[in-house]
Amino acid sequence: MPAVHEHTLHLDPKVRKDAQNRLLSAKGHLEGILKMMEGEPYCVDVLKQISAVQGALDKVGDMVLRSHLEHHVASAAQRGDSKELVDELMDVLKYR
């Protein structure tokens, strides 16, 4: 179970909508890949769809990271939780 933090996602409504649309697009691409795999797809076509999913997820990840940096990390010293936030980010970024 993920840790519960008092910090929540702060995304401008326009950015949030863009992120949601990108995730829906990634979902559609994933569903397309699964459907392709039922047949005998051309490898390059599958790779293109995988790349599209990765691109969409990377972009949404960038949006969420920027929000986190702007809204939580920038004020960490004032709150006194800099070390916790740095450790948390280092843990997350090792997967990027």
The CATH number for 39's domain is: 1.20.58.1000
pLDDT at position 4: 46
Domain membership of residue 64 (yes or no) is yes
Question: Nearest 5°: phi and psi at 17?
Answer: -65, -40
Q: Which domain holds residue 58?
A: 13-93
Domain membership of residue 18 (yes or no) is yes
Provide the domain count of the chain.
Answer: 1
Domain membership of residue 8 (yes or no) is no
The tens digit of pLDDT for each residue in 4-22 reads: 456 677 788 898 999 999 9
Domain membership of residue 1 (yes or no) is no
pLDDT at 24 over 50: yes
Domain membership of residue 60 (yes or no) is yes
76-84 mean pLDDT: 82
39-62 mean pLDDT: 94
User: What is the reported pTM?
Assistant: 0.76
Helix, strand, coil in percent for the chain, rounding step 5: 75, 0, 25
